[in-house]
Amino acid sequence: MYAATPYLYLMALAYVQNISFSIVSRSRNRSSMSYHLIASIFSNTLWFLTFRELVRAEMNMYLFLPYCIGTVAGSLSGARISMHIERVLGATADGHLKST
């Protein structure tokens, strides 16, 4: 096994975790409760798996850089992915408000 593997694994987990976090954050303000339900399950599962790995590694500071890189990249990707999902679903912000 390569020495970089734990770093890359954590970076990948953090990346997917923040994609899911961006999606669930945006889904809270959209008109689809089903979208929010699925996004919440996805997000909470990834959060648990990521933090389980951090705890196993005793939250050492050497994990900060791969975690930070993964979360920033995931956040940016997640915003773009969630915009695509919202277009496909027709989920809109403030969709619950009636137009006057």
At residue 63, the pLDDT reads 93
Q: Could you tell me the pTM of the whole model?
A: 0.83
| 91 or 45: which leads in pLDDT | 45
DSSP label of 98: P
Higher pLDDT, 93 or 81: 81
How many other CB atoms are found less than 10 A from the CB of residue 43? Answer: 21
Taking CA atoms, 87 is separated from 32, 37, 53, 84, in Å, by 12, 17, 34, 5
Q: What average pLDDT is seen over the chain?
A: 89
pLDDT of residue 1: 45
